[in-house]
Structure formats: C-alpha cells, structure tokens
Chains A and B, each alone.
Chain A
Amino acid sequence: MHPILTITGVSKNYGKLTALDAVSFEVPAGAVFGILGPNGSGKTTLLSIILDVLHADTGKFSWFGNSPQTNNRKQIGSLLETPNFYHYLSAVDNLKITQAISGRGGSTDIDEVLRIVKLDERKNSKFSSYSLGMKQRLAIGAALLGNPGVLVFDEPTNGLDPVGIAEIRELIKTLAASGKTIIMASHLLDEVEKVCTHVAILKKGNLLTAGPVDEVLAQEDIVEIAAANNDVLESTVQDMGGFTKVKKHDNCLQLFYPVGTAQLDGINKYCFDKGITLQQLQLKKKSLETKFFELTND
C-alpha cells in the first residue's frame, strides 16, 4: 500500500534564511500525523509546499503515489494557517465555492458540515460578521466537505474557546477512528499526544525525528521508585547496576534504562533483599512534552 504522502529532501530558503532543510518522511494511510515544532520551525512552510501554495527549492513530494500535477488536492480537506473566505459572502455561499472548486460533496453536504461545526444557525450570516472561533469552525467545516479521506489541519484549534478545543479534539478522534488520514501541525503537545499515532518534530527547518509516537518517545525506559527514605534508597540502588543514570524527581527516584531492559520485579526483589520496602514502583513513558523540550532546547 502506498503511503498517503511521501516527502523527499524538501528544502526551502527565504534569502539567507533556511525555512526547511532536506526534510523527508512518509505519512502512512490511516495515521494521525502530528507535525510539531516551535514558532518558525517550518511547519506551515512544509504544509504550504505539500498543498502547492509554495514552491520547494529542492526535493519533491507525492500524494497517493501521484505526481503533484494531478488532482490530488481535490481529495484533501485542508485548513492552512488562517480561515480564508470571501468576507461579503455567507457560510453557505463560501462553501458553495469550496464545493465547486474541489468537487467534493453534494447539495446536502453543506448543511451537514455546518451542523457538525455548529454553524447551522448562522449559516446565512456574512463571514465578516463571524467571531474568530466561528471563522475557524467554518474552515474546519470546509475541510470536512464531501468527507475526504485525507485531512490537513494547521493549528486547528486556533481561536477556539476551551469547549471548542475539546470538541475539535473529539472530532479529530472520531475522524481518525473512521480510518481517515490526518496531518496536523500544532503547538499543543498534550493535544497531539492524545490524538496522534505518528509525529514529526521540526526545529529551524530541520527534521529532528519522525515516526510512530511510541517509537519517538520510547528511547529509554524510566522507572520511578520511592521508599520511606529516598536517600538510603539512592545509595542502595547505586550498586544494583543496569540503568544508565539515576535522578531525583519530586518525591521519588527516576532510574533510566535502555529501551526494554527495565525489569520491575528484579528491582523490587533487589530492594527487598537489601531491607528496603518500596512504596512506589512504576514504569513511566516519557511525555511528548519532555521529549519535545529535550529535542528542541539548545
């Protein structure tokens, strides 16, 4: 099966500034693919290139295994950067234009997507009269028009209130569960961690890592242990070996092991044999936030 999107060595410069430097990765079918990076890392530039809005200086990409010249974008629902609509037209008229250009969806689909993004009561109001959140909802509605198999979202929760953010997160989960491929750029790491199956992290135009979330995060096992006296515990486990480093963290100790080598029962037995009863013993996954800061901090 072809990947939905293949990016090969894509670079983009703005004068002396390198916005993207030979970025390559693949987005498999059915993935919820998060693209992360600090401001100015090249996320939007990358999405603009794969949507044909910007030209790459070098490198190439292909959707569905096709060349960029084919009608790929008509099969992709996209929200790039800001909601872009004709200010003097209503939501319905704007979506009629989206529909006519993309060929996605029939006559009843416009009402359906406006209902999904909760704009049905204001569907005949001019776009210029919408709040920021409503504009963002309309852009998401336009992307959903005709139920495309692939969705590209650039900061989809921008401008939304907390309820709106939760709703969009649920919507993305529902869409992912229905087998759609979703490519999403976001600052909200917690959000990405909750919904994404794959992740790519960019910094100053360089791709730091890309792959399934579990693989990206799980480069080491972290075991958290605690006892009545953590100082005694720390000096005791120094002789145990097997881990790469030990660190005090809040009211516990963190032992770092190479991936797949931490044995919880062995640790428990070692401590017990040394006369220490553990009050806490837990294998922790590294959070995306931790990993993100680890990778992107200079």
Chain B
Amino acid sequence: MFSLIQIEWLKIKKYPAFWAMLIIVLLTYPAANLMFYNVYLDITTQKGTQMLAKMFLGNPFAFPETWHTVAYISSFFVILPSILVIMLVTNEYQYKTQRQNVIDGWTRRQFMASKLIDVFIVSAITTLLYALVAIGFSIYADTFDATKMWEQSYYIGLFFLQTFAQLSIAFLLGYLIKKAFIALGIFLFYYLIVENIATGYIRMKAEKIGGDLGRYLPFEISDRMIVAPAFIGRFGKDIKTAYEKSLSEVPSQIALSLLLTTAIWVLCFFLHRKKDL
C-alpha cells in the first residue's frame, strides 16, 4: 500500500495541472467564503435588524460554526478537484500507461487501487485546504476561541466524505469515457445543469411523487450531508422546521453516500479485472 502511495505521488507531484488546481483552490475557497462573509456582514449591520439577525445567526464564520459554513460554501467548488481527477485517469489512457503499469508488474487490482489512492490524495489535500480556510476565517472574523475550536470539527470528516464521494463520480466518468474533454464536458453538463434542474423539478413535484426524491440523485446524495447554514439557507417560511428536517436527514445521506461510493469503486475494480487493457 505504501509503495502504491509513493508511486502515485511520483506521478502527481510533477503534474502541472495538480499545482494549478491547488493554486486555484487556494484562491477560490477564501474568495468565495469572503463573499458570503460580506453578505453576513451586510445582514447584521443593517439598522433595525442587526441585533435580531446577530442573535438568530450567531457568527457563522467563528468557531465552531466556521467548520460548517466554510464546508458548505467550499463544497460548491468540488468541480476544481474533479477536473484534476478526470485528467489523472484519462491521462493513463492517453499515455497508455494503464497498460504499461500492468506490463511492468502491477496487477489490475493494484492499478485500480492506485487510482483510488489518487482520489483519496486529492480529497485529502482539498480537505486540508478547506480546514485551513475555515481556521483562517474564524481568526479573521472573530476573536480566536480555542475552547470551541473542535466542537463541530466533524464537518472536516463530512467535507472529506462529500469531496471523496463526488470525486469518485468524476473518476467513474473519466474511467468509462477515457477521453478527457468528453468526460469533462459530460461531467460539467450534468453537475452544473442537469442535476440542478432535476433537483429543482423534483422538489417542485415533491408532493405528487411522494417526497423529495431529489436527495437520491448522485451529487445530491452527498451534497445533503452538509446542509445550508441558516443564514444562507432557503428553507421557506418555516425556517426552523425545515432546517431541522435537513439536519435529521444527514445520517441517512451519509449512509447513502458511503453506499454509492462503495458501489462505484466495486464496479471500477470489477470492470478493470474483466476488460482488455
């Protein structure tokens, strides 16, 4: 296992797109969170409503809420590491190194395990950047309170799982489609357009079809592990009930995410064992 990690790191560390992704994420996460922080400042500094808003919202960028808020906002940008993951897998086809790695001595299972490690590494680095941004914001937005620092730190785990689950879908697309641009096109079209429209439509028809089945869509499954923070959530009139309902669904969304992600990787390992390279 350690040898696989070492080999994958040899492949990744000199890949220019990896560093480009890292830099873009490093710029995007703070910038996006800063934008929402300004929204929060606007709400809480408006005359008349400021005390009420502050009482209701608390400071979403201070410990411990920063873990939740920054996780939610940053998770919109899973598209960045997804592009990298798709490139990493389609490169292996383009360079025919998926054959060469096996010719050189890997089993097909080891090759697929190495790709699983790639997705794990990218997810871990993305999570690390999120954690740094979350800590940075709490220091920037509030006085640093170490006693509350780890209260909601389970969001680090949730963010990692969400990133890993969604990058696994990106990997599956790259693995099946093999061509970088086609895989990227389909991924972006589905992630940005199809699923958003489908989610909205299903929500609209929820009563007719017996509930909000949108939560079973591939990205929604893991998206709903991190619910929208109260100050940006669109929970309708009954904010408190809707927010609590979303929170109550989190454990089942976690289970579904684990199930879908496991199914994706079982499928990939199975296909790679069977097919000609």
Contacts and interface: CB of A to CB of B under 8 A. Distances in A.
Do A and B form a real pair? yes
Interface centre among B3, B91, B95, B104 (most CB of A within 10 A): B104
Nearest to A14: B276
B99 to A, nearest CB: 5
Contacts of B3: 100
Which DSSP category, helix, strand, loop or mixed, fits chain B's interface? helix
Contacts of B103: 51-53, 73, 78, 80
Nearest to B111: A101
Interface in B170-202: none
Contacts of A53: 99, 102-103, 276-277
B101 interface: yes
Interface in A68-88: 69, 71, 73-74, 78, 80, 82, 84-88
Interface residues of B, number: 25
Contact of A100 (B7, B14, B108): B7
Interface string B3-41: 100110011001110000000000000000000000000
Interface residues of A, number: 28
A88 B105 contact: no
A82 B105 contact: no
B45 interface: no
A93 B97 CA distance: 14
Contacts of B104: 73-74, 78, 98, 101-102, 142
B14 A89 contact: yes
B106 interface: yes
B11 A84 contact: no
A245 interface: no
Nearest to B16: A88
Interface string A40-56: 00000000100111110
Contacts of B276: 48, 53-55
A188 B91 CA distance: 32
B97 A88 contact: no
A96 interface: yes
Nearest to B273: A55
Contacts of A52: 102-103, 108
5 contacts: A73-B104, A78-B103, A96-B10, A97-B10, A101-B101
Interface of B: 3, 6-7, 10-11, 14-16, 91, 95-97, 99-108, 274, 276-277
